[in-house]
Structure 1
Amino acid sequence: MGNQILYFEDDVEIGDLVTKDLESRGYGVTWRVSSDQYPQFIKQADLIILDIMLPGLDGFTIGERIKAIRSDVPIIFLTARTSIEDVLKGLVYADDYLTKPFHPDELAARIDVLLRRFDKVAKSSVNIQHLVIDFNTNRIMDTRTNDEIILTEKQHKIFYYFLRHPNQILTKEQIYEHIWEQSYIEGDKTLMVHIRYLRQKIEIDPQFPTVIETIRGIGYRVKQ
């Protein structure tokens, strides 16, 4: 799957634009508007983008703490603060510093450079049992028949959300709120129905699924 980017930005308009642009380039993006509970999100990140002025801990503090925990993950400061003092302070804790306004292509280029420097370029494809997922073309092939598996938009989003979080148990709430972008209501069967139809396309035996595992009482998981 595409590299996983953890993004901290409290400006909703900028955050939404950056997230959508990076996702369109094949990255998985976890966007947070505040620094609360940041440690729980850094484990899976291949790269972190930080604004400096955030609710809670500021970007400088988060950058310093993240580097102490994970020195292997590159950090980019993406901020409106342009003074040389801020730039120099930022580069103590980060690997690059980009000021707003910026062009999305420049941010993407800097991300690419850092991922290569830190040897974190993601695999272009992955095999899961009888499936081959090509992330460059977004095609899913069944190796038994060499046929392409065609998913609906929602099925594609659900399956790729699993692929961005390999081996991780995802709750129904997490999946629903990410895909539908609204609060999950306990008892809603929408997600369950979509996963049932998704399994009919990707599982060898949908009655006994082995690609998308059900974790009783919690949610689902895809092992890689």
Structure 2
Amino acid sequence: MYNHILYIEDDEEVAALVEQNLRDSEYRFTWLTSGKDIDIYIDEVDLVILDIMLPGLDGFTVGKRMKEKYQNLPILFLTARTAIEDKLTGLEFADDYLTKPFHPKELLLRIDKLLKRFEKVTLETINIKHVKFDVEANQIINTDTNEEIILTEKQFKIFQLLVQNSNHILTKEQIYSSVWKEPYIEGDKTLTVHIRYLRQRIEKDPQHPQIIETIRGLGYRVRR
């Protein structure tokens, strides 16, 4: 399940907390600090989380305009505004309203319920070259041999993360912190070694990889 969540919030600390929890739950995530550039992303997202107090247009205005144009796009307000008047105003067009401070598990539950209500939850089978990734079963198949490709836990998490962010370059820092849950130290070869062994299991020719690309000086990418 790789639903794409757009979060509009100008508080960097809150946004970082939400991002970490959503990525840990295998959601794709885009963060904007205002409603200025939403048109760039709106066609590819499955749900919008929206603060009310934003620079420029406030969340009520941004959310109402989105809902008028995209009626089947669920909108969840996540805000410090607790007054009943604000809740009633938000819920005139939005689909849910959660106040800060909040528990991450409650936010995830509300997101899950909205995605199901709007039938946005998709369980995919992703095909990349000769590899089929069954997302629902967490199974990777070599379609040339019809055999399952068995990976270690870390190899699987790396590949899953790259597939989840297909067509986007992930830096070593991003991959390492997501998989190992700790900061990447420059010069550490752990990730490089895991990528090498992962390619030996995934690629037809590990010396000339076609699935896991190395982007020199930046990181890695899986292109779909």
Please confirm whether the aligned pair reaches a TM-score higher than 0.5, indicating the same fold.
Answer: yes
Q: Distance in 2 between matches of 1:83 and 1:149?
A: 54
RMSD across aligned positions (CA): 3.9
Q: Does 1:108 align with 2:112?
A: yes
- Following superposition, the deviation at residue 190 of structure 1 comes to 1.4
Distance 1:125 1:74, change over 3 A: same
Query: Unpaired runs of 5+ in structure 2?
Result: none
Map 1:91-102 onto structure 2 (within 5 A). Answer: 91=91, 94-98=94-98, 102=106
1:61 corresponds to which of 58, 62, 83: 58
- Following superposition, the deviation at residue 90 of structure 1 comes to 2.4
Q: Distance in 1 between matches of 2:199 and 2:33?
A: 36
Contact 1:162–1:221 at 8 Å: present in 2 too?
yes
TM-score, normalised with respect to structure 2: 0.72
- Following superposition, the deviation at residue 83 of structure 1 comes to 3.2
Distance 1:82 1:18, change over 3 A: farther
Distance 1:95 1:105, change over 3 A: closer
Query: Unpaired runs of 5+ in structure 1?
Result: none
Map 1:1-224 onto structure 2 (within 5 A). Answer: 2-6=2-6, 15=18, 19=22, 23=25, 27-30=26-29, 35=33, 43=41, 45-50=45-50, 57=54, 61=58, 64-65=61-62, 72=70, 73-79=73-79, 81-91=81-91, 94-98=94-98, 102=106, 105-114=109-118, 116=119, 120-224=120-224
Distance 1:108 1:222, change over 3 A: same
TM-score, normalised with respect to structure 1: 0.72
Identical pairs, percent: 47
CA deviations on 1:3-57 (whole Å, 9 max, x unpaired) are 1234569569x8599648x82xxx425497x9489969x836432334557xxx4
Q: Distance in 1 between matches of 2:158 and 2:61?
A: 34
Contact 1:63–1:93 at 8 Å: present in 2 too?
no
Q: Tell me the secondary structure at the aligned position of residue 200 of structure 1.
A: helix
Contact 1:77–1:97 at 8 Å: present in 2 too?
yes
Matched letter for residue 162 of structure 1: L
Q: Distance in 2 between matches of 1:63 and 1:213?
A: 42
Q: Give runs of ≥4 in structure 1 deviating > 6 Å.
A: 66-70
